[in-house]
Copies of this chain bind each other. A is one copy, B any other.
């Protein structure tokens, strides 16, 4: 328990991960309403849209309108996701987002080949070209990011050695480009991780790179999200991506999107109850979670929004 951090940073991804899987019928104004409400919770970092092909992801066709609409809160970084140059150009054009470059590699070669039609070697070549573009545009690159780092529906379990090898090669191309990475993010993209595999992989990276900050991007598809986050905390991880209300997931069996990220307010609840500072206002987050549910029009998976926080009960019991 001694490795537990004193404070953590939670990066909100609900508006992007969440609305992406919903129908395109959600009005832009309501997306903006959620983003503005989240800005008042103490969150410092929020991914709010993705710039992807509107034909493939109609629910993100209004990305520019969402960015135009929200009211930036000083001290909060608002970001967008892009997967190719066209997306990057769209993000730049908004003039309102924090542009964050990263070196992203899939730990699963089968998934990479299937999704991007590139082998892992080709992924690294592609990452080099992307870095050139970031340099040209003056976009800072601080994060190395590894997708499907714990397992893959197409490749199966991902050995720790594979992840370590990718981390090493990420640092290599960072160094080639005179980039000093500040953090490595491990994504459990398809929800294969358990607390034990989190500890194993995080431990192996910690051993080689003791000073590198680690981020966990956890999915809750198999109900392990909070337990995996706890295992990360026990290994000293102090940064997590999360989605308010567990946006991106849905408790309906018939709904394809049961793969939501770990839930922001449930994670914040656990941290604060264990004495780990989040800088977040839990009651306001719970209001946002209920707002998110109202916006999508169906129940969302987060638990504390049903069960309630303990602050008021604790005060009343005095």
Interface residues of A (CB under 8 A from B): 1, 110, 151-157, 191-192, 194-197, 199, 220-224, 226-227, 229-231, 251-253, 258-259, 263, 266, 269-270, 273-275, 290, 293, 299, 301-308, 310, 313-314, 317-318
Across the interface, A196 reaches (CB within 8 A) one of B1, B154, B222, B301, namely: B1
**A221 and B307 contact, Cβ closer than 8 Å, known pairs A195-B230, A199-B1, A299-B252:** yes
A301 near B251 with CB under 8 A, answer yes
In the assembled complex, how far is the CB of residue A235 from the closest CB belonging to chain B, in whole angstroms?
11
Residue pair A317, B152 in contact (C-beta under 8 Å): yes
Q: Closest CB of chain B to A151's CB: distance in Å? A: 7
CB A279 to nearest CB in B, in angstroms, measures 19
Do A222 and B304 have beta carbons less than 8 Å apart?
Answer: yes
Closest to A259 in B: B307
Other contacts beyond A224-B266, A258-B306: 6, CB < 8 A: A191-B307, A222-B304, A223-B226, A224-B303, A226-B226, A227-B230
- Shortest Cβ distance from A195 into B: residue: B230
**CB atoms of B194 and A313 under 8 A apart:** no
**A270-B195 CB under 8 A given contacts A227-B226, A304-B222:** yes
Residue of B nearest to A310 (CB): B192
Q: Which residue of B lies closest to A4 (CB)?
A: B196
A275–B157 Cα distance when bound, in Å, is: 14
Task: Say yes or no: A253 contacts B196, CB within 8 Å.
Answer: no
Closest to A229 in B: B227
Residue of B220, B290, B313 touching A156 (CB-CB under 8 A): B313
- CB pair A317 B221 closer than 8 Å: no
Q: Which of A263, A266, A290 has the most CB of B within 10 A?
A: A266
**How long is the Cα–Cα vector from A222 to B273 in the complex, in angstroms?**
11
- Ordered by A's residue number, 22 sampled pairs between the chains whose C-beta atoms are within 8 Å are A1-B196, A156-B314, A192-B310, A194-B270, A220-B303, A221-B306, A222-B308, A223-B263, A223-B270, A223-B307, A224-B226, A224-B266, A224-B270, A226-B226, A227-B230, A230-B230, A251-B306, A252-B299, A253-B290, A253-B293, A259-B307, A299-B299
Asked whether, in the complex, the Cβ of A303 is within 8 Å of the Cβ of B222, the reply is yes
Q: Is the CB of A313 within 8 A of B274?
A: no
Which one, B197, B223, B253, contacts A266 given CB within 8 A? B223
> From A255, which residue of chain B is reached at the shortest CB distance?
B306
Interface centre among A293, A303, A306, A310 (most CB of B within 10 A): A306
Q: How far is the CB of A155 from chain B (nearest CB, A)?
A: 5
Complex Cα distance A301/B220, Å? 12
Give the residues in chain B near A196, CB-CB below 8 Å.
1, 273-275
